[in-house]
Structure 1
Amino acid sequence: MREVFQQELAEVRERLVTIAELVAISIDHATQAFNNSDVSLAETVIADDHRIDEAAVNLDELAINILARQQPVARDLRVVVSALRISASLERMGDMSSHIAQLARYRFPDKVVPKGLRTTFSEMGRIDVEIANKLTELLRTEDVNLADEIRNQDDEIDDLHLSVFDKVLGETWKGGAVDTVDATLASRYHERFADHAVSIAKKVQYLATGDWVVPSVGAGN
């Protein structure tokens, strides 16, 4: 029975990595669609979001089944409970990717944001893709150095997010109401994507080291 239990725990970890890989693909395609006004790629991201949702539901069912049958304790219990919470965050990250793609689809053939903000969003997208790839590797290896890198890159996203608001609220902003709404929404989606990654990274770091990282004052929720 113990061997079966360990196999089930290994499957939980493998499924988390698989979901993270799907999320990394999703945000990569979503940012490409957003920055290049690629409606075909945007449609692909939106259509594929159900794969992330289904994988998260299936993982949750496995984890709940393990809790009911195996009644794990100590670290094994933390692993299973953390898996439930991590899968929820990964599912939300997939939603953020889908929301970014939806903006690209709605504004096609135009680009979502005016020229003055495109460099900023290109950089936000690049960092989010890097975060997603590092998160996948973190879940695969539990290399806590990656958790630190993810938090540092989240700070970069936060700074870019604030710069978008400074831009659209500034006196030189020439965008219309739709441009303002789209820019602020897109920026928020990018920022929340990174926030969920940080939340997952903290949980993995806790499982690996036993130390819980307390967020700094002013950190995103």
Structure 2
Amino acid sequence: MRMKFQEQLDELTDQLASMCHLAEQAIEAATDALTQADLPTAEKVFDLNEQIEALRGPCEEQAIALLALQAPVARDLRQVITGVHLVSDLSRMGGLAQHVAESVRRRHPNHVASGQAEQLLERMGRLAAELAGLAEQVLRTRDPELAAELDHRDDELDSLHRQLFDLIQDPAWTGSITAAVDETLLGRFYERFGDHTVVVGRRVIFLVTGKQLAQ
């Protein structure tokens, strides 16, 4: 019985890591689409998000089945509950990547952003993809030290987000109101994506140590 339970937990972990990998691909593709005003690449993000959502249902069902049929306690219970929360976090990451792609589709064939703002957004997007890749490693290894690294790397993303906000607010900035709205939203999407990778890391730390880190 114990062996079967562990096999089911391992399967759930693998599915969660797969969702994270797809989210990494989605934010990478969304950033490519953003910087190139590339509609086919933007459409690819929608396909990737559908794949993420296709995994969400089975993950939730498996976690609920483990709770109902195995009645886990202590660390086993933490693993299942953590899995339930992670499904939601990873789904939101896919949704945020899709929001970037929607912006590209809405403004196509024009670029959503330009100049320094586009450069900052690209850097945010590349870093967000790196964070998702690190989060996948954390899910597969359950390494609390690697999980803590997500917090530090996200500080870089927050710094880029502040730079973007300062640029848009600068009196010398000559962009339109529409551009300001678009670029502000895009910065927020990337910033929130990074926040969710940090949450993934914190959930893994809780799973391994039983300690809940302060937000």
- TM-score (normalizing by structure 1): 0.93
SS of the residue 1:126 aligns to: helix
In 1, distance between residues paired with 2:67 and 2:211?
Answer: 24
**Aligned position for 2:34:** 34
1:128-173, Cα deviation, whole Å (9 max, x unpaired): 0110110111101112232222111111111111121211111011
Shift of 1:28: 1.1
SS of the residue 2:174 aligns to: coil
Shift of 1:212: 2.5
**Aligned position for 1:168:** 168
Question: For residue 164 of structure 1, what is the amino acid of its counterpart?
Answer: L
CA contact 2:22–2:48 (8 Å) conserved in 1? no
1:15-63, Cα deviation, whole Å (9 max, x unpaired): 1111111111111111111111111000111233121112012100110
Shift of 1:196: 0.6
Shift of 1:209: 2.6
**Aligned position for 2:108:** 108
Mean CA deviation greater in 183-192 or 9-18 = 9-18
SS of the residue 1:146 aligns to: helix
1:165-203, Cα deviation, whole Å (9 max, x unpaired): 211111011111110110000000000000011011001
Mean CA deviation greater in 179-188 or 157-166 = 157-166
Structure 1 residue runs of 4+, over 6 Å off?
Answer: none
Show the 5 A alignment for 1:6-155.
Answer: 6-155=6-155
**Aligned position for 1:193:** 193
SS of the residue 2:113 aligns to: coil
SS of the residue 1:166 aligns to: helix
* Alignment RMSD: 1.2
Question: For residue 136 of structure 1, what is the amino acid of its counterpart?
Answer: E
SS of the residue 2:211 aligns to: coil
Shift of 1:127: 0.6
SS of the residue 1:93 aligns to: helix
In 2, distance between residues paired with 1:153 and 1:139?
Answer: 17
Identity of aligned residues (%): 36
1:101-140, Cα deviation, whole Å (9 max, x unpaired): 1111111121111212122112101110110110111101
In 2, distance between residues paired with 1:170 and 1:99?
Answer: 26
Shift of 1:12: 1.1
**Aligned position for 1:218:** none
Question: For residue 138 of structure 2, what is the amino acid of its counterpart?
Answer: L
Question: For residue 192 of structure 2, what is the amino acid of its counterpart?
Answer: R
Question: For residue 26 of structure 2, what is the amino acid of its counterpart?
Answer: S
Question: Structure 1: any 5+ residue segments left out of the alignment?
Answer: 216-221
Mean CA deviation greater in 122-131 or 184-193 = 122-131
In 2, distance between residues paired with 1:143 and 1:36?
Answer: 36
